[in-house]
Chains A and B, each alone.
Chain A
Amino acid sequence: MVNPMPDNQSHPDMSAGAGQAELPIKVQARDVCVSYSGKQALNHVSIDVPDRSVTAFIGPSGCGKSTFLRCLNRMNDTIEGAKVVGSLKIDGLEVNDKSVDPVVLRANVGMVFQKPNPFPKSIYDNVAYGPRIHGLALSKDELDAIVEDSLKKAGLWDEVADRLNHPGTGLSGGQQQRLVIARAIAVNPEVILMDEPCSALDPIATAKIEELIDELRENYCIIIVTHSMQQAARVSQQTAFFHMGNLVEYGTTEEIFTNPRDPRTQDYITGRFG
């Protein structure tokens, strides 16, 4: 086990600052390192992510932000040769502990991927997938209610209410992504991870997703990985900048974009690299 209270000097910026203090800490990472078949992908990352807000991870390609995201719901388990060390807690519960079942964990930590990946099933079955496998609905009516509720929360209900039996793959890209979000929130997770959710979408669809993220912030802890600094600036309250497997800087979004402390952050934000 890693020391729960690590040396503050080596991690000067693991909390996003005093401004967010009223929000409880949802995710707490200490010295998380990840390697793939011996190749180091993430170095000693420590960070505190607050609940009911949007935290954006930014940084150039291959900087480790997606890797870190995949640690939070142990998706790295599915990759052969992946090794995670360090302490990672959600609600004070150690994620990498042997007693934690990834199946339960993932029900609590939803994830939305870069490319919309609806299952080759109907819209209804896509949303009902989680509740069904976890046995959350006792009756057909209950399931209908969950599906409707989730689609409404994802802002998709009005568009698909009359064609729930149509295949999910028949929707447009933006709709598909919102369907995937609806699928994720159907099991009532507390944390939602989004891995570049808009990179495959056009600007109008992107705007809708961003709007949705902003609405969801009320109820969930959202962590979003993005390439677009504008997007980070638009949707997030906190921003973390990753570079070459290191967490370089973390703070309120306003702070990072107006007054970055690290020169690398500054270079990246002003577009000198990345």
Chain B
Amino acid sequence: MSVTALIALAILVMLAGGFYAGRSRAIQAVAGNTVRLHSLPNYHGYYVAIWTGLPALLLLVAHGLFADKVVENLTYAELRRDAAALNAQLDEALSTDTVYEALRADAVQLRGRADSIASDLERLRSATGEDRDPERMEALDSQRLDALNAVTSADEAVLDRRMELVDGVAAAAREAGAPVRALAGFELTQAPRERRQLFLADTLNIAHGELPSRESRELVAAASIATRHQNQLRYLIGAMALVVAVAGLWRTRSQVEPAFRARNHVESLVTALLLFSSVIAILTTVGIVFSLLFESLRFFSTVPVSEFLFGLQWSPQIALRADQVGQSGAFGAVPLFAGTALITLIAMVVAVPIGLLAAVYLSEYAGPRFRATAKPLLEILAGIPTVVYGFFALLTVGPFIRGLFSWLGFEDVVTQSALSAGLVMGIMIIPFISSLSDDVINSVPQTLRDGSYAMGATRSETISHVVLPAALPGIVGAVLLGVSRAVGETMIVVMAAGQGANLTANPLESVTTITVQIVMLLTGDQEFDSPKTLSAFALGLVLFVVTLIMNVVALRVVQRYREKYD
């Protein structure tokens, strides 16, 4: 049993003891005549127990959540100190190595050239009239690409040379019998970013007694440092938790007396807990906004916002390495926006008429028995997981559409088309539209219907001339919520719409959407901090903002509408 678990158990015991102590002291204080107490004895018990256990347990939870991060940072700092001498040696070697200097100078020069070509190109692009020479622009563009490639290979050469020197210093130090810890620190500080993460993760794994991805002397040495820090932290926190618990018990127990308002204290704690719970919803939104914003800003530091929002080409896959210059792929998101819009449009063309007509029929025509059967069926349609719809689109609707259209004489119809994804998404949204519209239609006051019937209008005339116009704002709200849902829907499009970033209005082609690209960019192998990964967050931000606006507007509209007839 680990120390932490023991301490947790001890605190739990103290908590129970605290309850008993508070309760019995309260009873004792009034010599058993509990009517004289301001609060029931149990409240005194709760009060003592809460202040005994809660802060200490929170401390332990925080330790559990953040211990690894802290240990990692401490270990890293210590290893870096150990490697200070070797790092200095490397700096020395780097500054005296002529090859390295020469390579660096080359790289700087090449970058300068690339920059100047780029700025020429920019000038040419913004020029008007005769100066705007397309042939020259094309030539410059290919020159720019060549230059960027040259920069990339120069950078690589610099890095290679640097690694050679690093290896040299490490080998020399090993020969000279340098301490393993220094070597470990050197390896860690000189490794590229993602290797550094892996090194630390392995270190912690060894320290935890779990399997690392590889084993080496350096790792074991680093792990021993990590273990030391881990133990120190554990004992420190454990001791603090015990102190806090004891102090809480001692302090609150002495407060117990007949006139003590234990109930009020406990209740205000309960209220605080409730308030804290409702803050979580806010924190979620804040978390969403900040994480999206933060990562997106990092993305926009490499790719300009204008290119992202208005660029016509999307091919993020080319990003090979985070530190490459000219290889950051194309991040023009317009094809994604267009694809999303196309599929959403198809979905709404399916869902709005069917959903609305179904709602009208169910609320204005259908008898109670029909309604009682049909409504749950529609609700089932609403409860089916979207991945099931995706499967349906992929294996039933897609092949059917391809068969149908090749029978009609269209060539090269693909299974994963905007049409099949849109159709199935429309089906998914039908119950959503119909149940929202049903609510809206039902809240149109009966007096309006009566007025129309009394004029001699038929049902359909009443519905289309009076009920629907009256319900229009609410229906618009429902449709907006449906659109927002279609825009944010992921699984159907991932499975059925394909991945080709085509800028097309042809529903028989495969298109891609914002959500599909987020999934593509963030599943499978990914490196953090590359524009490729970060662009997913930028797309997420767009998605969030767009759906948020639609939701706010829709909810406003619906609420206004409700207030109008309530």
Contact = CB atoms under 8 A, between A and B. Distances in A.
Q: Do chains A and B touch in the complex (CB under 8 A)?
A: yes
B455 A120 contact: no
Given A119-B469, A121-B469, A106 B451 contact: no
Contacts of B466: 119-120
Interface in A137-187: 180, 183-184, 187
B456 A187 contact: yes
A176 to B, nearest CB: 11
Contacts of A113: 447, 450-451, 454
B457 interface: yes
Given A120-B469, A121-B469, A78 B449 contact: yes
B465 A129 contact: yes
Nearest to B461: A133
B56 interface: no
A115 B452 CA distance: 14
A120 B447 CA distance: 12
Contacts of A111: 450, 454
Given A117-B445, A119-B470, A120-B470, A133 B451 contact: no
Contact of A133 (B448, B449, B454, B456): B456
A103 B458 contact: yes
A134 B465 CA distance: 13
Interface in B476-522: none
A73 B465 contact: no
B447 A117 contact: yes
B453 interface: yes
Given A78-B449, A115-B447, A117-B450, A106 B469 contact: no
Contacts of A27: none
B465 A110 contact: no
A67 to B, nearest CB: 14
Interface string A114-125: 010111110000
Interface in B421-468: 445, 447-458, 461, 465-466
Q: Secondary structure at chain B's binding surface: helix, strand, loop or mixed?
A: helix
Nearest to A186: B455
B457 A133 contact: yes
A130 B455 contact: yes
B455 A75 contact: no
Taking residues whose C-beta sits less than 8 angstroms from the other chain, chain A's interface range is 20 to 34
A72 B458 CA distance: 17
18 contacts: A75-B453, A78-B449, A80-B368, A106-B453, A106-B454, A107-B455, A117-B451, A119-B465, A119-B466, A120-B448, A129-B452, A129-B457, A133-B457, A133-B461, A134-B456, A180-B451, A183-B451, A184-B455
Contacts of A134: 456
Interface string A16-33: 000000000000000000
B455 A106 contact: yes
Contacts of A102: 456
A107 B470 contact: no
A113 to B, nearest CB: 6
A105 interface: yes
A78 B466 CA distance: 16
Given A75-B454, A119-B451, A119-B452, A133 B445 contact: no
A73 to B, nearest CB: 6
A184 B465 CA distance: 16
Given A104-B456, A105-B456, A107-B456, A78 B451 contact: no
Q: Secondary structure at chain A's binding surface: helix, strand, loop or mixed?
A: helix
Contacts of B461: 133
A75 B449 CA distance: 11
Given A119-B469, A119-B470, A121-B469, A130 B451 contact: no
Contacts of B445: 117
A180 B447 CA distance: 12
Taking residues whose C-beta sits less than 8 angstroms from the other chain, chain B's interface range is 10 to 19
B457 to A, nearest CB: 5
B128 to A, nearest CB: 49
Contact of A73 (B368, B454, B470): B454
Interface of A: 73, 75, 78, 80, 102-107, 110-111, 113, 115, 117-121, 129-130, 133-134, 180, 183-184, 187
Contacts of A180: 451
Contacts of B457: 103, 129, 133
**Interchain residue pairs A-B with the least CB separation, the first 8:** A106-B456, A111-B454, A107-B456, A117-B447, A117-B451, A130-B455, A120-B470, A103-B456
A134 B456 CA distance: 8
Given A102-B456, A121-B469, A129-B452, 16 more contacts: A75-B450, A78-B449, A78-B450, A107-B455, A110-B454, A111-B450, A113-B447, A117-B448, A118-B451, A119-B451, A120-B466, A120-B469, A129-B455, A129-B457, A133-B457, A183-B455
A16 B513 CA distance: 77
A31 B184 CA distance: 106
Nearest to B367: A80
Which residue among B451, B458, B466 has the maximum number of chain A CB atoms within 10 Å of its CB? B451
A248 B35 CA distance: 66
Contacts of B470: 119-120
Which residue among B453, B454, B470 has the maximum number of chain A CB atoms within 10 Å of its CB? B454
Contacts of B452: 119, 129
Contacts of A121: 469
Interface in B326-343: none
Nearest to B448: A117
Nearest to B459: A78
A133 B465 CA distance: 9
Which residue among B368, B453, B458, B470 has the maximum number of chain A CB atoms within 10 Å of its CB? B453
B455 A187 contact: yes
A102 B453 CA distance: 9
Contacts of A103: 456-458
Contacts of A118: 451
A244 B457 CA distance: 32
Nearest to B455: A130
A129 B462 CA distance: 10
A103 B461 CA distance: 11
A156 B447 CA distance: 22
A19 B254 CA distance: 96
Contacts of A129: 452, 455, 457, 465
A113 B454 CA distance: 9
B557 to A, nearest CB: 15
A236 B9 CA distance: 88
A187 B447 CA distance: 20
Contacts of B449: 78
Contacts of B448: 117, 119-120
Contacts of B447: 113, 115, 117
B203 to A, nearest CB: 70
A121 B469 CA distance: 8
A149 to B, nearest CB: 17
B480 to A, nearest CB: 20
A13 to B, nearest CB: 29
A133 B455 contact: yes
Nearest to A129: B455
B467 to A, nearest CB: 10
A75 B454 CA distance: 7
A111 B447 CA distance: 12
B447 to A, nearest CB: 4
A117 B453 CA distance: 12
A130 B469 CA distance: 16
A75 B445 CA distance: 16
Contacts of A107: 455-456
Contacts of A119: 448, 451-452, 465-466, 469-470
B459 to A, nearest CB: 9
